[in-house]
Structure formats: C-alpha cells, structure tokens
Structure 1
Amino acid sequence: MPEPVVTSIVQGTLGRVIDRLADKYLPSSVSEKEREEFRIRARELALKEAEAEARAIESVNATIREEGRSEHWMQWAWRPLIGFTFAAVVINNYILLPYFRNLGLQPIDIPSGIWESMLVILGVAAGTRGLEKWARERK
C-alpha cells in the first residue's frame, strides 16, 4: 500500500505535470481516450518510482538505526567522522589556505572518487536525517 504522502504528491503536483506534458507533447491525432490512458499509465509509473524510492530510503534508515543501537563505537561513528573530515578539508583548502599559504600550509588533495563517495555518504545521511525529523513532526 503506497504511503498517503507519496500518493498525494503523485496525484497532485506530479499529476498536473503529467497532464501538461500529455497536452503539450502528445500529437493531436491521439484520441482523448488514449490521452487519458497515457495519463493513467504515467501516474502509475510515477507512483511505482516514488514507492521504490521510499523503500530504498526506509532501508537506509533501518541500517542507520541499527548502527545507532550498536555498542561498538566505530559502527555508529563512521558517518560523523566522514562529515568532520569533509569539513576539515573544506576549511583547510578554501578558508585557511588563501591566508596561510605563505606559512607553508598545503592543500589536502583528495582523489575525485573518494571525494564523490564522501559527498554521497553525507547526502544520504543528511537526507535520511531530514526525513526522520519530518516523519517525527508529522506524527
């Protein structure tokens, strides 16, 4: 059963977008019945996509909750550690370096693959944290 919020988004905002796209891009030779079938099918696909995304986010949330209950500090501390590392690199490379380069401060060079991984982890952590807060406030 889809979440009521997901359903209302698909029927509301996304439904209006689908209707406008159908009106604008379907050729005039398409009958009204075919247009309506297209709209229904597009909404169904959008709903399935939103449900899949919600399940993926819930899976990540479950993992984070399990890590938070762990007694081993490294299991629950690795995400904040990545966040602090990211902040340290940004502070060093973009705030301190311009002022202290003459004193020997060096930029921290992080390969792009590792940088992207850090950003993904931070994005997922921030996104799931925001969703948790939003869900708590809705109750």
Structure 2
Amino acid sequence: MPLIPIAMALAQFAPMIAGWLGGSKAENVAQKVVGVAQAVTGQSAPDAALAAIQSDPNLAMQFQKAVLDQQVELAKLSQEEAIAQINADVTNTQTINKTMQAEAAADHWPTYSWRPFVGFCFAIAWIGDYLALPILHGYNPAIIVPTIPPEAWMAVGAVLGVASYFRGRMQATPNIPSDNRG
C-alpha cells in the first residue's frame, strides 16, 4: 500500500497530519509519519504498523506523542512546499507583467490592441447574453438565450481585469510613460 493512504489513515490518531499531506512534499511527509509509526510499533512494514496502532490504544497514544514531538519538522516540510508554490506564483506573475509591458510598448497595432479588443468583445457578449437576448426572448420565445459556461466568463474577465487595471494605472498616474495610444 502506498505511504500517503497509510499516513492519511494514521491521521485519525493525529489529525494535524492531514494538513501536512499536500503538494509535492506529501510523499516526504507521509514517509516521515509512517516512519514514526514504525518506530513506535516496532513493525517494519507500514501496513503492519498501521494495523498495530489501530488495534492498540496504548500504541495510538504513543504514536500521537511521537507525532507531536516531530510536529515542527513535519510542519517545516509542509511549509517548504507552500513557500515553493508562492515563489513559483511570484515568478509567473513577473513573467506575465513583462509580457504585458512588452505588448503595450509594441509598435504594431495588433500587438498593443488585442487586450482592449478582447475587453470590448467581452462587453458586447455580456450585454448581448445577459441583457439584449433575455429582453428579446420576452418578446419572442423562439429566440434562444445561450448558456455560456462560467469558466469562459472567468477567462475573459481575468484578461480584461488585468488589462484594465494596468491601463487605468497608466492613465491615472502622470509619471508613468505613455504614448497615448489608448
């Protein structure tokens, strides 16, 4: 049996374990938790250690104590995963910002105008889908009001939101250079 399911089963005896079992470090945390269980029970097989803890309340208490003694180290493994994820997000955001800045500074209209174009298309689609078509449907039931999946709205809305934020910042702050294209 893989270590993560065994560690999750052991989490019934030490609930804080479940919070540590996420991300790329989950296998390392699970290995450490199962190692603690094996040390407490004296069993060499992870399945046997789990079975021993499940059947003996004294071993379950010893396991809880051993996990509490290792709590800082186990939490540190989990925290390293969270820090790595934050660093990856920061790097990704910086890359996106550089791309958007390069697009805004481009000399060719398709490059610097595609985000505003997406914004206008989004507005037209939103007005059509949520305002015009329902009104027309009230007059003529044969007009079908399409259902657009929420993911599509979120994707276009994210592009529009980021573009609008930076465009608004540029227009509101006079010391940000602009070539007055928009």
Calculate the TM-score normalised by the size of structure 2: 0.47
Q: Distance in 2 between matches of 1:111 and 1:58?
A: 31
Percent of aligned positions that are identical: 19
The answer as to 2:28 corresponding to 1:37 is no
> How far has the Cα of 1:125 moved from its partner?
5.2
Report the counterpart of residue 88 of structure 1 in structure 2: 124
- Are 1:120 and 2:151 counterparts? no
CA shift in 2, pair 1:93/1:129, >3 Å: closer
Match of 1:25 among 1, 12, 16: 16
Q: Distance in 1 between matches of 2:78 and 2:163?
A: 27
Superposed CA deviations along residues 79-107 of structure 1, whole A, max 9, x for unmatched, are: 11111111111101211122234379966
The letter of the residue matching 2:96 is: V
- Going from structure 1 to structure 2, the CA distance change for 1:119 and 1:55 (only over 3 Å counts) comes to same
SS of aligned partner of 1:28: helix
Task: Check whether the contact 1:67–1:76 (CA below 8 A) recurs between aligned residues.
Answer: yes
- Displacement, 1:78? 0.8
Would the alpha carbon gap of residues 75 and 128 (structure 1) be closer, same or farther in structure 2, given more than 3 Å must change? Answer: closer
Q: CA deviation at 1:65?
A: 0.1
More helix by share: 1
Unaligned regions of 5+ residues in structure 2, if any? Answer: 1-13, 18-62, 174-182
Cross-structure match for 1:99: 135
Residue 84 (structure 2) pairs with residue 48 (structure 1): yes
Unaligned runs of 5+ in 1: 1-22
Which structure: larger Rg? 2
Q: What is the CA–CA distance in structure 2 between the aligned matches of 1:36 and 1:131, rounded to whole Å? A: 42
Shift in Å at residue 50 of structure 1?
0.4
Q: How does 1:58-97 map to 2 (within 5 A)?
A: 58-97=94-133
Q: Is the 8 A contact 1:97 1:105 kept in 2?
A: no
After superposition, the Cα gap between the structure-2 partners of 1:83 and 1:125, relative to the gap in structure 1 and judged at 3 Å, is closer
